């Protein structure tokens, strides 16, 4: 079959399982989503098998699916193709899921973590296209990141590199879910942006006129903070400005350390990224060695929520090609 007719499956697995049938250049033909089962591992595995089999038997697939890529919200041992830790999902670490999925679907599968596949998508068809040295960070409920250096995705020795969310920014900071303290995630993730809005409102009476004050009784979500910022709410603007400064400080260390050409920022928190990008750039510039900053752009991601499914499929495309060429 000519390369141009080959199709791939891309799955992005978190609290929602998203799967897509993707063309060899990253075009999405069809997609499916299902809320992930969080208590029964066998039901969860059946959901994954069903997602792959349904996409593979879709009319558009036409027997042309070559391989599937899966990005996991968690830590994946790259060498063993084993999912080690999935903080917000059912615990599947005891299963040989890679073998199980290949057996149940008859399709070669490749695992990676969700930030790596999203970065791969942005690198191949999105905001990092054409660059060789890229830092990608995804900001949502958690903060993940991926590194492309010298034109290769770098995963570290076992696949655990890129845990940018657990970058230490405050020695005396809050306890983090990882067991440490003062991680970037404890300040700049979606839920922590909301936490800081609440704290600021209670500690500074001048913010009591904020439109967010009346939301405090119910569930305040990060999207609401961005909406308030669009309406020029001072409290929302102040917390987002500060969030940008925190992220800019963390990114300055990345730029100083790695001298990347581009920093791509994605994830749900960046959906209204203009409130963050300005302060991020300003703060990063103050804290980066000037020649390294001048050589580096800081931009918003382009593929939105599809980065993971497109990237997982393209990673499957390129990995399959590599192993084929290597004679495996």
Interface size with Zn ion, residues (CB under 5 A): 5
CA neighbor of 128 nearest in space, from 270, 273, 260, 322: 260
Q: In sequence order, which ranges of the chain are alpha helices (DSSP H)? A: 41-56, 97-105, 114-125, 185-188, 190-203, 222-230, 234-258, 274-287, 290-294, 307-325
Please, which residues have CB within 8 angstroms of residue 27's CB and are 6 or more apart in sequence? none
Is residue 255 a contact partner of residue 263, using CB atoms and an 8 Å limit? yes
Least separation in angstroms between CB 191 and Zn ion: 13
Least separation in angstroms between CB 269 and Zn ion: 17
- How many angstroms separate the CA atoms of 104 and 185, rounded? 37
What φ, ψ does residue 221 adopt, rounded to 5°? Answer: -115, 160
178 counts as binding Zn ion under rule CB under 5 A: yes
Token output for 231: 């309406």
Piece of 122-130, 163-171, 241-249, 296-304 that binds Zn ion (CB under 5 A): 163-171
3-state secondary structure of 106: coil
Least separation in angstroms between CB 172 and Zn ion: 14
Token output for 286: 């103050």
Least separation in angstroms between CB 105 and Zn ion: 35
Query: Based on CB atoms, which residue is closest to Zn ion, 46 or 175?
Result: 175
Piece of 26-34, 40-48, 158-166, 200-208 that binds Zn ion (CB under 5 A): 158-166
Piece of 56-64, 170-178, 271-279, 298-306 that binds Zn ion (CB under 5 A): 170-178
Q: In sequence order, which ranges of 68-125 are alpha helices (DSSP H)? A: 97-105, 114-125
Query: Based on CB atoms, which residue is closest to Zn ion, 166 or 317?
Result: 166
Token output for 177: 């879910």
166 counts as binding Zn ion under rule CB under 5 A: yes
Token output for 301: 């991601």
Piece of 27-35, 103-111, 176-184, 245-253 that binds Zn ion (CB under 5 A): 176-184
Cα dihedral 253, 257, 262, 264, rounded to 10, equals -50
Piece of 61-69, 180-188, 207-215, 299-307 that binds Zn ion (CB under 5 A): 180-188
58 counts as binding Zn ion under rule CB under 5 A: no
Query: Based on CB atoms, which residue is closest to Zn ion, 85 or 178?
Result: 178
Least separation in angstroms between CB 180 and Zn ion: 5
Query: Based on CB atoms, which residue is closest to Zn ion, 125 or 192?
Result: 192
- How many angstroms separate the CA atoms of 286 and 300, rounded? 20
Q: Cβ atoms within 10 A of the Cβ of 81, count?
A: 18
The site string for Zn ion over 182-201 (x = CB under 5 A, - otherwise) reads -x------------------
Query: Based on CB atoms, which residue is closest to Zn ion, 87 or 106?
Result: 87
Piece of 27-35, 177-185, 240-248, 275-283 that binds Zn ion (CB under 5 A): 177-185
Residues that bind Zn ion (CB under 5 A): 166, 176, 178, 180, 183
């Amino acid at each position: 079959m000519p390369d141009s007719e080959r199709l791939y499956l891309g799955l992005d697995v978190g609290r929602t399982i998203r799967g897509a049938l993707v063309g060899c250049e990253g075009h999405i033909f069809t997609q499916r989503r299902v809320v992930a089962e969080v208590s029964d591992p066998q039901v969860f595995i059946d959901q994954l098998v069903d997602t792959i089999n349904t996409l593979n038997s879709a009319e558009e697939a036409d027997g042309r699916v070559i391989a599937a890529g899966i990005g996991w919200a968690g830590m994946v041992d790259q060498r063993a193709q084993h999912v080690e830790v999935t903080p917000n999902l059912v615990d599947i670490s005891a299963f040989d899921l890679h073998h199980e999925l290949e057996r149940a679907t008859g399709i070669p599968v490749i695992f990676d973590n969700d930030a790596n596949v999203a970065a791969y998508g942005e690198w191949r068809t999105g905001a990092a296209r054409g660059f060789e040295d890229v830092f990608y960070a995804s900001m949502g409920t958690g903060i993940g990141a991926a590194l492309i250096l010298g034109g290769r995705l770098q995963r570290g020795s076992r696949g655990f590199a890129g845990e940018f969310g657990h970058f230490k920014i405050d020695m005396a900071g809050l306890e983090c879910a990882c067991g440490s303290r003062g991680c970037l995630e404890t300040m700049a993730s979606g839920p922590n942006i909301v936490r800081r809005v609440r704290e600021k409102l209670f500690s500074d009476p001048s913010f009591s006129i904020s439109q967010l004050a009346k939301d405090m009784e119910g569930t305040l979500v990060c999207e609401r903070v961005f909406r308030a910022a669009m309406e020029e709410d001072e409290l929302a603007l102040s917390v987002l400005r500060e969030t940008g400064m925190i992220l800019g400080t963390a990114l300055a260390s990345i730029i100083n350390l790695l001298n990347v050409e581009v920093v791509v920022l994605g994830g749900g928190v960046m959906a209204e990224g203009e409130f963050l990008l300005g302060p991020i750039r300003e703060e990063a510039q103050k804290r980066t060695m000037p020649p390294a900053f001048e050589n580096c752009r800081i931009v918003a991601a382009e593929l939105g929520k599809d980065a993971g499914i497109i990237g997982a499929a393209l990673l499957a495309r390129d990995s399959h090609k590599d192993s084929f060429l290597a004679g495996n």
